[in-house]
Structure 1
Amino acid sequence: MTFSIQNMASQAKQAANVVASLSTETKNRVLMTISANLQAHTTKILAANQLDMKAAKENGLSESMVDRLLLTEERIIDIAKAVEHIASLPDPVGLVTKTSRLPNGLNVSKQRIPLGVIAMIYESRPNVTVDAASLCFKAGNAVVLRGGKEALHSNLALADSIHQALEQFDIPLHAISLVPDPDREIMNELLTLNEEIDLLIPRGGENLIRHVSQNSRIPVIQHYKGVCHLYVDQFGDLTKALNILINGKTQRPGVCNALETLLVHKDVVKQFLPVVAATFAEKKVRVHACEQAIEYFDNADLATDLDYDAEYLALEIAIKVVDSYDEAVSHIQRFSSGHTEVIITQDISLANQFIRQINSAVVMVNASSRFSDGGELGLGAEIGISTSKLHAYGPMGLESLTTEKFVVLGDGHTRV
């Protein structure tokens, strides 16, 4: 039988009504069962992942993509624990966020409700299959998952564990659907199904996200790339700065909250950049440096605007010396992707000024950009990061997967 994405989306829309009516207790029991299934099926999931890993190496996938694709026993345990954590979070559905009594006696409140059907289009990361399924389900939504071909075997194995949990509780399997065919034409058809799907969230490379945004009839949560900046101010603690720089650039360079550009105030260049150069040489970080900074680095490339606009997703970074705080802010405002920006300073007034002037989704003072993550910011596992300012901005957790309706209570009121 030929696969039909139209049919899958239509069935997801029907299943969304079932999920929206589930009690918090039932949703949590389903999630805990999913977590248990993932751990019980670890051997099968790892075997499927090895098929994907073999193909990835044969096809020459980048190091960062391979890292995102890889599953291990430890990573499966972490994924399962994230599901349990989502189960422990407060249910946003039904939450009354605002209540007022009008002069005419009407009681007006706002109540959180599910969005309906959410479609996820993503690349490489099989953990997104579970994170997205769990978050959407807890928020009362159905979800259509379209992963990339590079993770197909892994995603199918994960989805099987999820579906076994749904079956156990007599919940329609289309509440959490996985597209079994990664053909691009099927994805393109998915982008047109605005009657069935309420929101589309792409996660992956910039080319994928731009393609989805430009061709979708469905509202899209956008996050093109993460060009995250670290500005070391003249009043910054250089020990803190070095630790935060190394953590942000080298801990996991292939993720969107890794640092891509370092800005250094001219007054601390002589103390700071030699230490940075020694550390980067040890960790094999490739450097693109401006004219003032390049003398401190062996084998560095002279930085251009293209380097400052790049999301490297690798052990690679652009470095620029700035004459002032204002120059640093201007540089960030010019090249920012709206993801995460960090300032290192002990000057509280300057830190507050940075917070006011920089309107990226996450702004940090003396903390690593690696904290720009839903789990680290207390949201539980995130479904993605939005760098568009409508509906949601920044890491998106459960609340971002709901909207609000007005509830009006009257007593025979009519409008004059």
Structure 2
Amino acid sequence: MSAVARGTLVGALACQKDAYLKSFSSTVLTCTEIPAPPASKKKKGAAAPPDPTPTYKIELQDTILFPEGGGQPCDFGELVETESNLKIKVFDVQRENLKAIHYTHSPLTVGSNVSVNLDWRRRLDNMQQHTGQHLLSAILDKRQLPTLSWNMGEVINYLEIPRKLSNDEIKEISQEVNDQILSNCSINVEYPDANNNEVNEEKGIMRVVHIGDLDANPCCGTHLLSTGHIKAIVLLNQFSGKAGTFRINFICGDRTINYTSQLHETTKKLMNTLSVNLEDLDLKASQTVQNLKKIQQRENNLMKELASLKANELKNNIKNNDKKFIWAYRADAELDFINNIFKELGDLSDDVNLVLFTGETGGNGAIIISGPKTNEIADKLKTITNLRGGGKGKFQGKVAEWGKSEIDQVLAYLEQEKC
């Protein structure tokens, strides 16, 4: 009776033994369709929802596609069936116990031979960030700053340490870590239990990643052959973590080139916008922000004065013209403006109706209504525009977006009511 084929365990995968393999031949051991979730109920009058795309879990005898783990995202790639030349994308690789499971949208025949092709750019980026983190953590360890956690982001990574770094420390650490990159120190993986035939089915195969004599850490991830392949590490900003810890944002490898290019383009645009050279950009930006704050404060004061004037005008309409329906509208104002008018008006007599509103066509708006006909007026305005709101003593609401001619319709209604 022939033995059942067994896949290579995580820890001894081809990608973990040689992280630079870009293609590899293997055999399909299992292929299982994942049952699709139950389709949602079709709403009356709605089109039928599209059939869910089937998903398959495929285990290979061995693989160069790394399953997510150890803080490192999974690889992407392609499986090509040797006999039929059928090509299918692998969009995820995960662990099931110590198995590497490939997720696809097409099945493969069990027992068929396949070529496994790696998305090398993604792998290289993952390795630059991961090996870069090991190196940065090693330099921080020398300063009694252990790495509490870390995260590889799509653009920026962070590393969590017990305390905040000073500016001088950041400069020193940055210099030291990039000196280690320049030294092109070799990186190798050791298997301490290589002579032990028994494998722990939960912990798997122990691997220790060595960066020369500088660092040795257990790790399941794929790593570069030398620190030189990291290319560069840039420390960015720090921010508070949990329980007094701090997180350092950093980027490694080709990301530093992309980040620098984006930063340069942004800087150029700012220089053009502010009509200033690079040396004076910081000062000019600070001055612009300060001037903007002064302008905003001046505008706030002027709007308060305008609100007071408008409130006095409305009071005079009530007093001199015996008006029982008063309103005010300002296109370029916001809720604060009409709130200030409402406060300035104070307690109106019980028989006076008031409507205050703001906004322009295509933009949002605010509305305040008070008086004995509050509900009637609010209901009418709701037939004109998408008004939401409520309240006791007064109605306060907002319009998410004034539609075409809606403001004119409201104004026409208010003119009619005040007569």
TM-score bucket (shorter structure): under 0.3
Which structure has the larger Rg? Answer: 2
**TM-score, structure 1 normalization:** 0.22
Higher helix fraction (1 or 2) = 1
Higher strand fraction (1 or 2) = 2
